[in-house]
């Protein structure tokens, strides 16, 4: 089954060298995830994107993320796992789990 893992960052949490050391290198996580990670990539900072809406036939653009939230989407991974528990285990070992959060969801349908 495929799971989308959204990598979320909280800009209010300071990412110190100690936090990074506790998190471990991304290469270790990539090795652990192995072939269960189908693809993934970090994405640009929120201020480099645009939100697109159409209201009353007009295109409405706004800068940054689609919602006023503290956390922002920093990347994603597509996982192929036997269960949600396995996907959660992989997410719990991701370095960003130490200073952000990971939202793991199965594809609908």
Measured CA to CA, the distance from residue 87 to residue 104 in angstroms comes to 7
- What are the Cα distances from residue 52, in Å, to 14, 42, 60, 67? 30, 21, 6, 12
Q: What is the pLDDT of residue 52?
A: 87
pLDDT tens digit string along 5-15?
999 998 888 99
Q: pTM for the whole thing?
A: 0.85
Q: What does the pLDDT read at residue 5?
A: 97
Q: What is the pLDDT of residue 41?
A: 96
Task: Kindly state which CATH superfamily the domain 2-106 is placed in.
Answer: Dimeric alpha+beta barrel (3.30.70.1060)
Q: Which helix (H) or strand (E) holds 95?
A: none
pLDDT digits over 55-87, tens only? 999 999 888 655 556 788 999 999 999 999 999
Q: Are 88 and 81 in contact (CB under 8 A)?
A: no
């Amino acid at each position: 089954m495929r799971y989308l893992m959204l990598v979320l960052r909280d800009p209010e949490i300071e990412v110190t060298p100690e936090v990074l050391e506790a998190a471990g290198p991304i290469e270790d996580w990539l090795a652990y995830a192995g072939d269960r990670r189908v693809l993934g990539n970090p994405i640009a900072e929120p201020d480099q994107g645009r939100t697109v809406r159409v209201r009353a036939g007009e295109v409405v653009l706004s800068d940054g993320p689609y919602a006023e939230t503290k956390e922002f989407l920093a990347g994603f991974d597509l996982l192929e796992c036997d269960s949600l528990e396995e996907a959660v285990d992989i997410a719990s070992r991701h370095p960003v789990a130490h200073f952000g959060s990971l939202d793991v969801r199965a594809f609908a349908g």
